[in-house]
Amino acid sequence: MSDISVHTECVIAVFIPQEIEGTMTHPNSAGSDTAGTPAGGFTPLPPLSRTDSVIQAIKGYIVSHKLNPGDPLPSENQLCQELQGSRSAVREAISQLQALDIVRVERGKGSFVGNLSLAPLAETILLRASLEPGSLNTLRDVVEVRKMLDIGSAGAIVSALKGSTNPALSAVVTAMEKKAQAGEPFLDEDNAFHQQLYTHTSALLSQLGTTLWSIHMQALSSADVRTDKLEDTARAHRKMLTAAEAGDLETYLEAVDEHYAPLLNSLA
């Protein structure tokens, strides 16, 4: 049996505990209305559709072979043969995985592992925001999550920067301060500052921070939100950097709160 077909069974089975699986009855079997419910009260899981089975098999193949973004996947013909699935089911599975950035299709070349990014998350949140025209609820939620992310990563950042000097970060803050004094927004500098800080956290936190910033900017562009506290915000960034280099976690957290306060107040 091939790697792919093995994964069709294994990946599906992993979701069904053995003690439950043994007591399940297929919905089409005789007496399934009563005998099919285990004594523990669990309702038997319906069988996966052929498309869902192919999706699970492809994801299992990526995981078991430790594939990275850009690595090639089996061809459409191979998937059809190994999984004994129809061409339409395989194509639908590939299409769904492509929408999730798990698979990338290049015409004439085949299918490859996608970027595995959080882009689908961003699209969903932005759609949610567009369904609430004139509402600031989604933007407020995103800003609050960004703040929580900064608070959660504070320990790692302060530990990494303690006792160091960071000319690049300092230059970014200086640019913020100059723009603030001139009454100009500094969105690019704000983004650059946080992206540099996120390099001292995990790859997932860094990607999540980037995604939240993208959502923040796109939601902000469609909302009439302004703050006249530019200098306070720039000052908070300077305080964050100084506190991190001094290894002062408490002051760093105070600065994070001061950084987000003007925007959250304008969204209240």
pLDDT in tens, the chain (268 residues): 455 544 444 333 333 333 333 333 333 444 444 444 444 455 554 566 888 989 999 999 999 999 999 999 999 999 998 888 889 999 999 999 999 999 999 998 999 999 988 888 888 887 877 777 666 788 888 899 999 999 999 999 999 999 999 999 999 999 999 999 999 989 899 999 999 999 999 888 888 888 888 888 877 766 655 666 889 999 999 999 999 999 999 999 999 999 999 888 888 7
For residue 94, the model assigns a pLDDT of 95
Q: Which residues contact 265 (CB under 8 A, 6 or more apart)?
A: 227
Q: How far apart are CA 65 and CA 78, in angstroms?
A: 16
- Where are the chain's structural domains? 3-113, 119-267
**Tokens 């530019």 correspond to what residue?**
230
Beta strands, E only, 102-168: 103-106, 110-113
The tens digit of pLDDT for each residue in 17-54 reads 333 333 333 334 444 444 444 444 555 545 668 889 89
- The class of domain 119-267 in CATH terms is mainly alpha
Q: How many Cα atoms within 13 Å fall on the side-chain side of residue 231?
A: 3
What is 162-220 written as a DSSP string?
Answer: TT---HHHHHHHHHHHHHHHTT---HHHHHHHHHHHHTTS-HHHHHHHHHHHHHHHHHH
Tell me: domain 3-113, CATH 3.40.50.1970, correct? no
Q: Which residues contact 246 (CB under 8 A, 6 or more apart)?
A: 162
Residue 106 forms beta bridges with which residues? 110
The tens digit of pLDDT for each residue in 43-88 reads 554 566 888 989 999 999 999 999 999 999 999 999 998 888 889 9
